[in-house]
Structure 1
Amino acid sequence: MLSQQIITLAHGAGGAAMQQLIDSLFLKAFNNGSLALKEDQARLPLAELQAKGDRLAFTTDSYVVSPLFFPGGDIGKLAVCGTLNDLAVGGAQPLYLSAGFIIEEGLSLSLLEKIVYSMATTAKEQGVSIITGDTKVVERGMADKLFINTTGVGVIPASTQISAASAQSGDKVLVNGFIGDHGATIMLARDNLGLHTDLQSDCTALYPLINHLLLQHTHDIRCIRDVTRGGLGGVLTEIAQASNITIELDELALPIRPQTQGVCELLGLDPLFLANEGLAVFIVDHEQAETVLQLMRQYPLGQHAQIIGEVTEYSINHLHLKTRYGAKRIVNVPYGLQLPRIC
């Protein structure tokens, strides 16, 4: 049992207190053979990896969200889902994660325990092991409670070839759910607004849905990207630039919850640039787009899927929006973020 109630500098100093924290919390929560060895590195079975595919997918991300807990999730769940999603949108089966914690002195141990077990639960639900990690403790005021860095490893099957540079004229643009829920939820979770809704973050792991679709339509899906920082507008602009094409969205087809739309109107935000944590955009061959859409809607994570636009014949690397009034405008990506520290 941990004897202290809060994190102290001793928990990051490499002595008995740190060892007690690792043994009593991290090893217990993540609980797998690789981590239990307590080596300076995790050792991965190459034969198992080679049996699953011909390429490794490798990604890393850091999470600094404020507040640490929000409707629909917490920084631990967010860190796991966000990293797994970065692997999944490349067609990879996620297998392993690392977790690095930068903890501010004075953080409640019970709060840290809730976050760590949230990570463990989310990883276990997705069949993923957290196999190595690191803990650092910094003085009060040097961090905002807790930052988490995660690295993910997955394997891509030989049959899967998807890329942001693969979009072609005529392709359709699909999303699996509502736009902007995470960004709006984080904004509302900050106490200074005084607004209350039932809105929740869409924080979830996308691999089950993506695998479900790729098993049947590997050659019809050109590109998949998870829609996080920069929002849908930012991600589609990146795809347009990578493929040297123009994407045209239909404003009337965009799935936006009334609560999210209301927050945007009240605060002067554009939902196209709000972050999401359970949303992916799919670029799909136009002949199979309706079939993929109906297949997506059969799955819980795709019940609210929509075709929201298409790739046009232009090649000027732009994102266009056809407004509800029939006019068209170029969608320009903001220079900075609308919301700070949302993932």
Structure 2
Amino acid sequence: MNEVEPACPAPAKGGGGVTLAHGAGGRLTHRLVEEVFLRRFPDPALLEAHDGAVLSCGVERVAFTTDSFVVRPLFFPGGDIGTLAVCGTANDLAMCGAEPLFLSCAVILEEGFPLAELDRVAASLARAAGAAGLRLVTGDTKVVERGKGDGVYVTTSGLGRVAAPRPVRPAEVRPGDAIVLSGDVGRHAAAILSVREGLAFDTRVRSDCACVWPQVRGLLDAGVTPRCLRDLTRGGLATALNEVAQAAKVGLRVDEDAVPVEREVAAAAELFGLDPLYMACEGRFAAFVPPEQAQAARDALARLAPGQAPAVIGEARAAQPGEVRLRGRLGVERMLDMLSGEQLPRIC
């Protein structure tokens, strides 16, 4: 069994080149985006640092997002790069309170990539899009020389119609709001890790890769008015919470015991010295809701996705704005920081 070697973070400022840690979704990713891209593209929609942009088109409000996928291996328990590309983009739209409608798809292929495997990816794209109610309406294909790529990379963009009656974005979070988790965390990262390292558990760890729009729609139908929704992809729950705390300028407190982690995921994390709170999900999200709606939100999620163990895990507060605190089993609080460096490269 190969050892997992974490990538060392790059120097904080200036010089050097891009590292794997710049793509981990954590502190270095945010620094790269801010220092290279945001200063050159200071559009208000981009500066909101949300999972997508909400734009006005006449009387309609639409959400628009884009994402690239370089996961290795291409096929894993619970999904593959095709399923991931559709669900990842659909979920970014859902985090804006929008119903996913239209999808574009661009693929970069390496010379020699087996056509049979490409057909499997295309079939997965089609199945996932159909299940999510998405129409794939435009796309592009490029091929690079043998050895210049790694099989196939996929980029998808999505367009959706905003269904939420109020803005759903990090800046809307207020002190006192409850944090409701849609289900157990870390499954996707554990599934990828189990394949890469040849791990065997009592039951096979499967990725949680899925479209979460039905759950978001269910929250809205139940009368829940989420202030913010955040999916828990690169950097996991901990990084997503830090992103919201910093954007909303509030403090967040989370109860460690309240965060559900499946036994096999915890075992994989312990084996490789990883923290499940930083392990990626591809079918889970955190909802920030008014405190009086917390139980209704949890109950709605439990009805919509049985077996996922939704839970109220914490709250927003005025103290320590921009910080996330984890309250442990003995009641002692510690800082839960954003991911620094790279735990598992090419997780999505």
Percentage of matched positions with identical amino acids = 42
Residue aligning to 1:97: 103
Quick one: distance in 2 between partners of 1:193 and 1:208?
33
- Amino acid aligned to 2:91: N
CA radius of gyration, larger in: 1
- Alignment of 1:310 onto 2:318: no
Quick one: distance in 2 between partners of 1:301 and 1:282?
17
Contact 1:185–1:199 (CA<8 Å) still a contact in 2?
yes
Residue aligning to 1:9: none
- Alignment of 1:292 onto 2:297: yes
Quick one: distance in 2 between partners of 1:295 and 1:289?
10
Quick one: distance in 1 between partners of 2:302 and 2:341?
34
The Cα offsets for residues 280-314 of structure 1, whole Å up to 9 and x where unpaired, read as 10001111111211121111267410011111231
Residue aligning to 2:151: 145
Partner-residue secondary structure (3-state), 1:288: helix
Quick one: distance in 2 between partners of 1:339 and 1:321?
23
Contiguous gaps of at least 5 residues in structure 2: 1-55
Cα distance change of structure 1 residues 316 and 230 upon mapping to structure 2, 3 Å threshold: same
Match of 2:279 among 269, 274, 278: 274
Residue aligning to 1:338: 343
The Cα offsets for residues 77-117 of structure 1, whole Å up to 9 and x where unpaired, read as 00000000000110111110000000111111111101101
Contact 2:253–2:326 (CA<8 Å) still a contact in 1?
yes
Aligned CA-pair RMSD: 1.7
Where do 1:192-211 residues align within 5 Å?
192-196=197-201, 197-211=203-217
- Amino acid aligned to 1:255: P
Where do 1:160-309 residues align within 5 Å?
160-190=166-196, 192-196=197-201, 197-219=203-225, 221-300=226-305, 303-309=308-314
- Alignment of 1:131 onto 2:146: no
Partner-residue secondary structure (3-state), 1:201: coil
Residue aligning to 2:89: 83
- Amino acid aligned to 2:266: Q
Partner-residue secondary structure (3-state), 1:84: helix
Contiguous gaps of at least 5 residues in structure 1: 1-48
Cα distance change of structure 1 residues 128 and 323 upon mapping to structure 2, 3 Å threshold: same
Partner-residue secondary structure (3-state), 1:198: coil
Quick one: distance in 2 between partners of 1:290 and 1:159?
20
Contact 1:176–1:301 (CA<8 Å) still a contact in 2?
no
Shifted more, 113-122 versus 330-339: the winner is: 330-339
Quick one: distance in 1 between partners of 2:282 and 2:306?
12
The Cα shift of 1:217 comes to: 2.5
The Cα offsets for residues 15-41 of structure 1, whole Å up to 9 and x where unpaired, read as xxxxxxxxxxxxxxxxxxxxxxxxxxx
Contact 1:99–1:133 (CA<8 Å) still a contact in 2?
yes
The Cα shift of 1:218 comes to: 4.7
The Cα shift of 1:54 comes to: 2.1
The Cα offsets for residues 156-178 of structure 1, whole Å up to 9 and x where unpaired, read as 13723211111111111111111
Quick one: distance in 2 between partners of 1:111 and 1:336?
32
Return the TM-score normalized by structure 1.
0.82
Return the TM-score normalized by structure 2.
0.81
Contact 1:159–1:218 (CA<8 Å) still a contact in 2?
no
Cα distance change of structure 1 residues 128 and 217 upon mapping to structure 2, 3 Å threshold: same
Quick one: distance in 1 between partners of 2:288 and 2:322?
15
Quick one: distance in 2 between partners of 1:149 and 1:301?
31
- Amino acid aligned to 2:346: R
Shifted more, 263-272 versus 74-83: the winner is: 263-272
- Amino acid aligned to 2:115: L
Cα distance change of structure 1 residues 68 and 174 upon mapping to structure 2, 3 Å threshold: same
